[in-house]
């Protein structure tokens, strides 16, 4: 890929009728896009955190991890449907296009909480999505990014923040 021609597209949402919490990233990184899996980079802390909280451990096959999230009432998606980006950093995102959240929330009316996996996801959602949503917005909460680019924050701090947010949203957690 070169320069401005590097348009990348995100994945379909992982969600079912039982979804009560939606976890949003900004846009999958290169490792995730290559693997066509959410949070595929081996240093990303998302799956270790979800393993500790709802049993979606990285040791499980990917489809089983997704099922554990769904069983817990957690949906996954990204704010952006597509963007121009070279590399994986959120700071490299250009020409973003948001996913269809109006349609998502109509199809998943039980989602009452949106958890942002990092600042860029929240910023993009508030700028590109929130102004166009009708009706009451779900509770919006930014969490520390699980990305390897956020390596400066200790894993136990990230885990505690995610534990608190999921607990506050009524998700049944695996005992610590």
Say which residue the tokens 């991890």 belong to.
65
Length of the chain: 176
Choose among 67, 76, 73: nearest CA to 104.
76
Structure tokens at 79: 């704010």
99 an active-site residue?
no
Task: Give the chain's radius of gyration (CA, Å).
Answer: 15
Interacting residues of 147 by C-beta distance below 8 A, sequence separation 6+: 29, 41, 44, 45, 117, 118
Query: Which of these is catalytic: 44, 99, 117, 150?
Result: 44
Judge contact between 30 and 18, C-beta under 8 A. no
Structure tokens at 122: 């929240």
**Which conformational region is residue 153 in: left (phi greater than 0), alpha (psi within -120 to 50 degrees), or beta?**
beta
Q: Please list the active-site residues.
A: 44
């Amino acid at each position: 890929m070169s320069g401005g021609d590097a348009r990348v597209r995100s994945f379909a949402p992982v969600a079912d009728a039982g979804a009560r919490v939606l976890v949003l990233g900004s846009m999958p990184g290169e490792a995730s896009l290559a693997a066509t899996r959410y949070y595929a980079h081996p240093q990303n802390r998302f799956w270790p955190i979800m393993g500790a909280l709802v049993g979606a451990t990285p040791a499980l096959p990917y489809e089983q991890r997704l099922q554990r999230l769904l069983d817990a009432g957690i949906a996954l998606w990204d704010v952006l449907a597509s963007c121009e980006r070279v590399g994986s950093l959120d700071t490299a995102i250009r020409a973003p296009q948001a996913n269809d959240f109006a349609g998502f929330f109509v199809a998943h009316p039980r989602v009452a909480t949106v958890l942002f996996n990092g600042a860029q996801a929240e910023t993009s959602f508030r700028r590109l999505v929130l102004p166009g949503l009708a009706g009451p917005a779900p509770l919006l909460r930014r969490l520390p990014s699980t990305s390897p680019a956020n390596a400066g924050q200790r894993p136990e701090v990230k885990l505690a923040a995610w534990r608190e947010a999921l607990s506050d949203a009524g998700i049944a957690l695996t005992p610590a």
